[in-house]
Amino acid sequence: MDDIISAATLSSLIGLIYDAAINPGAWAKALDAIRTELNFGNATLSLHSLPAGEVLLNETVNIPQRYLSSMADYGPDVLDQWGGMPVIMQWPLDRPAVLSQVNPDVVRYDLTQNRYSLEWARPQGLIDVLAIPLARDARAVGSVAFGRHESAGSIGTREFEIARLLVPHLQRAATINRLLDLTALARFTFAGVVDTLSAPVLLVAADLRLIHANPAAKEMLAAADLIRVRGGVVSSTVGGVTKALAVAVTQAKTDESAMARRGLGIPVSRHGGGKAALHVLPLRLGRMAVDGGAAAAVFVARTDDPFVPPTEVVSALFGFTPAESRIFDQIVTGRTVDEAAAALDVELSTVKTHLQRIFSKTGVRRQGDLLRIAVSLAVPVDVGPSLPACNRKHPASCH
């Protein structure tokens, strides 16, 4: 990692992102820091509720006022420059998209007829865009986009890889923004808002000891719904959920920059059916007005709220390598170790080695336990391509 960005710099950027998770007014500072580090000319962040299209967040950095005021005139053109809705719906939600790679002709001003490119981007000397999806589900759509000025040259591997590292942290912050009452946050502290939220919120120590539960969380705990507290420690009736939560909270305490997708949308089941998701927000000193040793805030999203990344949830939660993910897939679909080795065309000893590492990371000892983890952590909602991905009235959400 240090060959593309120092650990200290990456940690600083991620810290600014999490500051914005509980203080939306800090987004401009976070975006500007990312823009500067990656040598982009401008930045936009847009988050809208669906289906009404209400603006939840709209932040821009370093865009001249004359161009800022005309952005809304190009909604359909922004969508078209990326190749239209079918192309946008194919984007993975866990990686950035670069305009010149998605639609090379649109950045060729001698070839394109796209109004946004010719009338808005070209006069500013912008030659490319890197976009990061924040949300694309039934209740919200949003993205962050960074415009590249011609003086900085082409978007390279360094910019892409650093942006890729930031994706889960940006998405976690946007998810927390969606669960909070942003209007109230503008007037009160995070700590003051937590107890007014309809979403259950638990403040926990690094060992999952419960420090504070807002009223909604107390009701949930009293009903033994989703999660519980035993001996003062937060847990779940499903071992896989408890393990995933413990891993995420421990990471939040030791190194929030390394959290990645750990603690982002941990699926949990409600009594009587239905699903929800847990989102872990790291709480470093000074990020909130509640002390008492809190390492993280655990938000419980309603059934229809959670953002679910398209990556394998279990692999992301437990930090599997690609090879371990492939082995896990084989085992939980019912194959034996021998069958997995044959299917993947690898040595039996290789499968056994990876399987032992999977056992170590998940805290179980048997293949049957892995299957139970897979079942318990099934993705709670479908965010497939039938859902809207762009609000034409707000072009920044179409990046």
- For residues 372 and 272, membership in a common domain is answered with no
CA dihedral of 331, 261, 100, 382, whole degrees rounded to 10: 70
Q: Rounded CA gap, 226 and 138, in Å?
A: 22
d(CA 125, CA 301): 42
Whether residue 117 sits in one domain with residue 146: yes
Task: Give residue 388's pLDDT.
Answer: 31
pLDDT, tens only, 309-367: 333 567 767 888 888 888 887 887 667 888 889 888 899 999 999 999 988 888 888 88
Instruction: List Cβ<8 Å contacts ≥24 apart for 186-191.
Output: 186/24, 186/25, 189/288, 189/289, 190/22, 190/23, 190/287, 190/288, 190/289, 190/290, 191/288, 191/289, 191/290
* 189 inside domain: no
Domain assignment present for residue 307? The answer is no
Query: In Å, how far are 5, 47, 144 from 59, measured between CA atoms?
Result: 25, 9, 9
Whole-model pTM: value is 0.70
18/145 same-domain check? yes
Q: Are residues 118 and 230 in the same domain?
A: no
Task: Count up the domains in the chain and report the number.
Answer: 3
**Residue 91: its pLDDT value, please?**
77
The whole-number pLDDT of residue 313 equals 63
Using 50 as the pLDDT threshold, list the residues of the chain that sit under it: 289, 304-311, 378-399
What pLDDT does residue 385 have? 24
Q: Judge if 117 and 145 occupy the same domain.
A: yes
H or E element: which one contains 98? strand 97-98
Q: State yes or no: cis peptide before 322, omega within 30 of 0.
A: no
Say which CATH number the domain at 153 has. 3.30.450.40
Q: Give the pLDDT confidence score for residue 2 in this predicted structure.
A: 63
Do 150 and 82 belong together in one domain? yes
Continuous segment of H or E residues that includes residue 279: strand 275-282
The answer as to whether 306 is a domain residue is no
Amino acid at site 90: Q
Q: Are residues 360 and 392 in the same domain?
A: no
Looking at the domain assignment, is residue 134 inside a domain? yes
* Domain shared by 124 and 210, yes or no: no
Residue 75 located in a structural domain: yes
Question: Which tokens is 41 given?
Answer: 């000319």
Tokens (6 digits) for 278: 């847990």
- One DSSP character per residue, 99-147 reads HHHH-GGGG-TTT---HIIIIIIGGGTEEEEEEEEEEESSSEEEEEEEE
E strand or H helix at 385: none
Structure confidence at residue 374 (pLDDT): 67
> Is the domain of 131 the same as that of 220?
no
Strands of the sheet containing 296-301, edge to edge, are 210-213, 201-204, 296-301, 275-282, 264-269
Quote the CA–CA distance of 263 and 246 in Å, as a whole number: 9
The pLDDT of residue 93 is 80
Do 270 and 231 lie in one domain? The reply is: yes
The length of the chain, given as a count of residues = 399
Q: What is residue 21's three-state secondary structure?
A: helix
Extract the tokens encoding 222: 């009293």
**Separation CA 388–CA 394 (nearest Å):** 13
CATH number for the domain harbouring residue 339: 1.10.10.10
**Residue 191 forms part of a structural domain:** no
**Whether residue 210 is found in the same domain as residue 124:** no
The strand pairing partners of 297, in sequence order, are: 203, 281
- The Cβ of residue 336 has, within 10 Å, a number of other Cβ atoms equal to 12
Q: In this structure, are 278 and 259 located in the same domain?
A: yes
* Residue 328 domain flag: yes
Which structural domain, as residue segments, surrounds residue 321? 313-376
Q: Residue 214: give its domain's CATH number.
A: 3.30.450
In this prediction, residue 146 carries a pLDDT of 97
Residue pair 81/119 in contact (Cβ under 8 Å)? The answer is no
